[in-house]
C-alpha cells in the first residue's frame, strides 16, 4: 500500500465511477483499476463492488475509507509543517536574555514577535552575558540578548539594538535630592555597589575604566549580579549602585537615579542580539529580521 493507492481509494469512493476518479486523479482508467485491484489483493478483501451499471463500497471499503482520508490529511499536515519550517513561520526559538533587558527591550520584542509569528514557540532563559554566550557557542540556545561591550574572543555575531550608559542609584531622601546628575569624580570616596568581575566582567570593566580615567580606585563594598538586587542594597543604605540607565524603568521607592557626568567617552554600554555566525535556523533568521525592524539602531559586531 502506498500514498497513491490511498488517494485512488478516496477518489473512487467519492465519485463511485472509475472514469470520473481517473479524471480527478489525472490518470488513465486502466492503471487505476489495476492499482486498486493490487490494493484489494494486498488486503485480501474487496473494497469495491463492481457491475456493469455501478460501483459501490463494500463493508470493508467503508471501514477503510475514513482512515485513508485521515492518513492523507495528516500527510498534507506534514508537508505544510515542513513548508512553514522552511519559511520560518513555525518551530521553536530558544531565547536567552540578561535581566536588565526586561525593563524595556525584551517585552517589546517578545510581544511583537508573538503577534507576527504565533506558531513559533519561545523557550526563555534568563542568565548573564558570559553564561549566555557560552550557551550560544554550545548551541544550547539559539539567540540571546546580552550586554555590551563584550570582552575577550567572541564566537558569535552581535547586532546592537539599544545604546545605554551607566547611571548612579542613590538613596532618597539624602544629599542628592536636588540633583539630577553627579560627576564621576564625586564618587571617589563613595561606597559603591557594582557587578562582580567573575560573572559580569563587561559592566565591571566599564565602571573601572570610568573611575580610572577620573583618577581614583573605586571603593567597592558590595557586589551583585542583578540590578534589582543592587537597587535593594541602595535602599538598605549600603552604598551607591552603578547600573544600566534603562533600569530607570524600575519602580522603587526611596531611591533616585542620577546621570553620571565626566566620563562620556568610556561610559558606553548597550544591549545586543547575539546569534551563531553560521548554521542558523530559518526561525532564528526570522527573529533577527524582526528585531532589527523593531530596534533600527543596528551596529553589527562580529
Among residues 166, 255, 174, which one has the least CA distance to residue 206? 166
CATH topology of domain 3-87: Arc Repressor Mutant, subunit A (1.10.10)
Q: With 70 as the cut, is the pLDDT of residue 300 above it?
A: no
Mean pLDDT of 157-163: 93
**What average pLDDT does the chain have?**
89
CATH of 166-267, one of 3.90.1310.10, 3.40.718.10, 3.30.300.30, 3.40.190.10: 3.40.190.10
Find residue 192's DSSP bridge partners. Answer: 220, 240
Question: What does R_g of the chain's alpha carbons equal in angstroms?
Answer: 32
Alpha-carbon distance of 219 to 301, in angstroms, equals 33
pLDDT at 241 over 60: yes
Confidence check: pLDDT of 207 > 90 = yes
pLDDT for the residue numbered 224: 94
- pLDDT, residue 168, reads 96
Q: Which residue has the cell 486498486?
A: 36
Contact predicate 135/156, CB 8 Å: no
Q: Are 106 and 145 in contact (CB under 8 A)?
A: yes
Share of the chain above pLDDT 70, in %: 94
Candidates 244, 224, 245; CA nearest to 234 is 224
The pLDDT, as a whole number, for residue 298 is: 56
299: pLDDT strictly greater than 80 = no
pLDDT band at 164 (very low <50, low <70, confident <90, very high): very high
For 120-138, how does the pLDDT look when each residue is reduced to its tens digit (9 = 90+)? 999 999 999 999 999 999 9
What digits encode the pLDDT tens for the residues 57-104?
999 989 989 998 888 888 877 776 666 556 556 788 999 999 989 988
pLDDT tens digits, residue range 255-283?
Answer: 999 999 999 889 999 999 999 998 888 89
Q: Is 90 exceeded by the pLDDT of residue 209? A: yes
245 Ramachandran zone, left/alpha/beta (phi>0; psi -120 to 50)? alpha
How many alpha carbons lie under 13 Å from residue 273 in its C-beta half-sphere? 28
8 A C-beta contact, residue 122 and residue 95 = yes
What mean pLDDT is predicted for residues 164-185?
94
Query: Could you tell me what percent of the chain has a pLDDT over 90?
Result: 62
Q: Give CA–CA dist 135/172, Å, rounded.
A: 39
User: In the predicted model, what is the mean pLDDT of residues 231-249?
Assistant: 93
The whole-number pLDDT of residue 127 equals 93
| Residue range(s) in the chain whose domain bears CATH number 3.40.190.10 | 91-163+270-301, 166-267
Residue of 2, 6, 17, 20 whose CA lies nearest to 65: 6
**Torsions phi, psi of 39, nearest 5?**
-65, -45
Q: What is the mean pLDDT of residues 180-192?
A: 95
Contact 105, 145 (CB under 8 A): yes
Whole-angstrom distance, CA of residue 245 vs CA of residue 100: 10
How many angstroms separate the CA atoms of 158 and 154, rounded?
9
- Residue range(s) occupied by CATH 1.10.10.10 in the chain: 3-87
Class of domain 91-163+270-301: alpha beta
Amino acid at each position: 500500500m502506498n500514498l497513491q493507492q490511498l488517494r485512488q481509494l478516496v477518489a473512487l469512493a467519492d465519485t463511485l465511477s472509475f472514469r470520473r476518479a481517473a479524471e480527478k486523479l489525472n490518470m488513465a482508467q486502466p492503471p487505476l483499476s489495476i492499482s486498486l485491484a493490487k490494493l484489494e489483493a494486498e488486503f485480501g478483501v474487496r473494497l469495491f463492488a463492481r457491475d456493469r451499471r455501478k460501483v459501490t463500497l463494500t463493508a470493508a471499503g467503508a471501514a477503510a475509507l475514513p482512515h485513508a482520508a485521515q492518513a492523507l490529511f495528516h500527510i498534507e499536515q506534514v508537508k505544510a509543517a515542513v513548508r512553514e519550517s522552511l519559511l520560518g513561520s513555525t518551530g521553536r526559538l530558544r531565547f536567552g536574555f540578561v535581566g536588565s533587558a526586561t525593563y524595556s527591550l525584551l517585552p517589546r520584542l517578545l510581544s511583537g514577535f508573538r503577534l507576527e509569528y504565533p506558531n513559533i514557540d519561545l523557550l526563555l532563559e534568563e542568565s548573564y552575558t558570559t553564561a549566555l554566550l557560552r550557551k550560544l557557542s554550545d548551541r544550547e540556545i539559539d539567540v540571546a540578548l546580552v550586554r555590551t561591550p563584550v570582552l575577550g574572543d567572541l564566537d558569535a555575531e552581535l547586532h546592537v539594538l539599544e545604546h545605554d550608559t551607566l547611571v548612579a542609584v542613590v538613596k532618597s531622601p539624602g544629599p542628592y535630592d536636588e540633583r539630577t546628575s553627579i560627576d564621576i569624580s564625586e564618587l571617589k570616596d563613595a561606597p559603591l555597589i557594582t557587578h562582580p568581575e567573575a560573572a559580569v566582567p563587561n559592566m565591571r570593566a566599564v565602571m573601572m575604566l570610568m573611575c580610572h580615567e577620573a583618577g581614583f580606585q573605586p571603593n567597592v563594598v558590595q557586589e551583585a549580579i542583578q540590578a534589582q538586587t543592587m537597587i535593594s542594597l541602595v535602599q538598605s543604605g549600603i552604598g551607591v549602585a552603578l547600573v544600566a540607565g534603562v533600569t530607570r524603568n524600575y519602580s522603587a521607592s526611596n531611591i533616585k537615579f542620577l546621570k553620571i557626568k565626566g566620563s562620556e567617552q568610556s561610559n558606553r554600554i548597550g544591549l545586543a542580539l547575539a546569534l551563531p555566525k553560521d548554521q542558523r535556523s530559518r526561525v532564528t533568521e526570522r527573529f533577527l529580521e524582526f528585531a532589527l525592524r523593531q530596534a533600527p539602531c543596528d551596529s553589527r559586531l562580529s
